[in-house]
Structure 1
């Protein structure tokens, strides 16, 4: 089983909060991680998609009080938002008995934004953690070549061959469109949403052009915004906002949009293997999105991510702002001999980051110029992981 980077952080939160919500797209590994943690604790597991398990909660408080000495894991919690009110009362009762942590682990396939109306009742009682698909530090060398092409969903990454991996991703896309999204309420024709998803994949790593998307789909801009909000809430798409500071420079205001898992990008575009990918026009955008998602997935919790672009030509693929307000500027290159463009120098002059990196495909870390270092993905992720570990010690 693949050891997940977030396990230490998750266990820390469980030990310090009465409730923890572990969020992520379906099939990202939430249940596997939760059951691995449960194996070393006094815990019970309930799947809210199971009629049998939901029946146990007919008398919610009565059932859960019987297990108040255990960590109760509730999977697919977005299916039963009415539970949050019960959990608040149980947590408050438990606190009066000295039960202050490790009460509930909630697993959900929707984002904080999608759940927040239901979870407002748990304010001050719950911590959130997002589990993305598998990233580069979590795989062994034999899986590394597959990670970019197949993406990080475990069943796709670990498939016996490229064709089985590709088919799994097609089935994943179909299930989301035909079952999961309708169950959450939105009444959007599956074929319309499929076309929208494919359009986003074609524009991977580019600025959002809502009017162009609206024209292609035959809808208005508000409808495009609604579709995009849905895909962002389901943790399938990232809307990377532009960095803004107090300078008088004219800044780009549109966000950049990424389909978050590279394997899903390739399935949407009919790219079966690495050979097909390297010859496809989306190759550069796919690589940029892959690197950025790996970086954000490994960054310390509550790190803010942006890109930087001005009308004067300053440009940086990724700005990380850590909870301590320090910033890193990061440029992504796929070559073995990275060259720093003028736009990155200009962006660094504007942002004044604490560290400046060009992520490239080589093995060594070495200085370039003006405080910029060339670094490979693994070494940058190790730096970020160490920052996260230091934050919880």
Structure 2
């Protein structure tokens, strides 16, 4: 399997000397184990003292029975005088009372052991006795972004990022040079999603097999075994329904009635789907926070391969791709930016701006219009005018147009993952 350097690797590197636990979260099969092995290799080559454990495979060993026993084991076998130990633990959610376990061993180590751990489920979903407040730095490893996919699939190097609006001319030149290659690879990426092993495999029948296995493993391990959901049929029906309604406003009452499940059960299922990185619920943008929390969210599926598995799709070219799938794709690329909060905007008259990106006090409206003839929507113009003190520019993502209308940059959607928001 081709080894693809992940965007997150350089971010994790910056925190290796920090005393806090580094917690790398993410869905199953997104490459957390591979990333952990890469981190260990990097540390080994730097002359560091390291040890790697797989909690799911070693859970029955005596030293994992309690944090005290584990600390004693590390001290006896690996902790060297005057040398910090880097202890890497894969699938930490399998540890008994995971958060408490990590808290205790971190406190016992007193800075002599640096813990770097991965987890397939958000620790927020687990039965936590003790929070890790002040003791951890969190990272989320997403599926392959489009740029990461290109590193695996294209003959060209794609390490570029372009600040908007400063680098707009350089971005235009970049698109002119690489347009054909970008569009050629975007279609299979939309069809199959960003799970690493699916992306790297070239044979279609194996892609289907891998994708099916990923979903089956998720249902059997995370849902049946880990969260002990008994009504798997209803849970699967919910995923299928959400996939068919991707990038749409989620009316919980309608979904509850459609599936015939209690409202509280639906809320529980949705929290699991979010906590296991299958969906993201995006809230509407309001300056009044209570409204933001009470209004209906939009639902996005965190990988288009999941959509393919549940509702089926096979697009031959960009022109045939459905608009809400493109919007879902754009969301998956925007959420790679950890420093940006994503909202949507909807007026009383139900006019919408697809995304509002919030970074500090700055707002960036982003609209997806996947057609050739383009105009800036009135609702977007009004948003820019209303929040003019906080909006420097807007972005309209198109099928292939590169243009500028007043404060709005019109960019081809294939460039969505190459943007850095200044």
TM range (shorter): 0.7 to 0.9
What residue is the counterpart of 1:79 in the other structure? 94
Tell me the residue number matched to 1:327. Answer: 363
Query: Structure 1 residues 274, 374: CA separation in 2 closer, same or farther (over 3 Å shift)?
Result: same
Which position in structure 1 is the counterpart of 2:382?
A: 346
Q: Is the 8 A contact 2:59 2:95 kept in 1?
A: no
Determine the C-alpha separation between the residues in 2 that align with 1:179 and 1:315.
38
The corresponding residue for 1:4 is 6
Match of 2:332 in 1: 293
Residues 82, 221 of structure 1: alpha-carbon distance in 2 compared, 3 angstrom cutoff: closer
Contact 1:242 1:252 in 2 (8 A): no
Which sits farther off after the overlay, 147-156 or 106-115?
Answer: 106-115
Q: Equivalent of 1:126, from 129, 132, 136? A: 136
Quote the residue 1:111 is aligned against.
122
**Counterpart in the other structure of 1:357:** 395
Which of 220, 227, 241 aligns to 2:269? It is: 227
The DSSP-based 3-state class of the residue aligned with 1:257 is strand
Q: Which residue of 2 aligns with 1:29?
A: 31
1:308 to 338, 345, 348: 345
1:261 matches 2:272:
no
- 1:233, distance to aligned residue in structure 2 (A): 1.0
User: What are the within-5 Å matches in structure 2 for residues 145-294 of structure 1?
Assistant: 145-246=187-288, 253-271=295-313, 273-275=314-316, 283-294=322-333
Gaps of at least 5 residues in structure 1 are 388-393
The answer to whether the Cα contact below 8 Å between 1:23 and 1:107 also exists between their aligned partners in 2 is yes
Deviation digits for residues 213-240 of structure 1 (CA, Å, limit 9, x no counterpart): 1122112222221211110111101100
TM-score (norm 1): 0.86
User: What secondary structure is seen at the aligned counterpart in 1 of 2:15?
Assistant: helix
How far apart, in 1, do the equivalents of 2:266 and 2:317 lie? 30
TM (norm. structure 2) is 0.80
Which string of whole-angstrom CA distances, capped at 9 and with x for unpartnered residues, describes residues 195-218 of structure 1? 110000111111002122112211
Report the alpha carbon displacement of residue 104 of structure 1 after superposing the two structures with TM: 0.7
Contact kept, 8 Å, 2:103 with 2:130, in 1: the verdict is no
C-alpha distance in 2, partners of 1:119/1:165? 41
Q: Distance in 1 between matches of 2:333 and 2:130?
A: 28
Structure 1 residues 11, 331: CA separation in 2 closer, same or farther (over 3 Å shift)? same
Listed as ranges, the gaps of 5+ residues in structure 2 are 44-48, 155-184
Cα distance in 2 for partners of 1:278, 1:53 equals: 53
In the alignment, the residues of structure 2 paired with residue 179 and residue 266 of structure 1 have an alpha-carbon distance, to the nearest angstrom, of: 21
Q: Aligned-pair distance for 1:348?
A: 2.7
Secondary structure in 1 matching 2:42? coil
| CA displacement at 1:376 relative to structure 2 | 3.2
Conserved? CA contact 2:22–2:136, under 8 Å: yes
CA distance in 1, matches of 2:349, 2:222: 44
Evaluate the alpha carbon distance shift between residue 135 and residue 252 of structure 1 in structure 2; reply closer, same or farther with a 3 A threshold.
same
Q: Does the CA contact (< 8 Å) of 1:238 and 1:259 recur in 2? A: yes
* 2:166 corresponds to: none
| Aligned Cα root-mean-square deviation (Å) | 2.8
Asked if structure 2 preserves the Cα contact closer than 8 Å seen for 1:22 and 1:30, the reply is yes
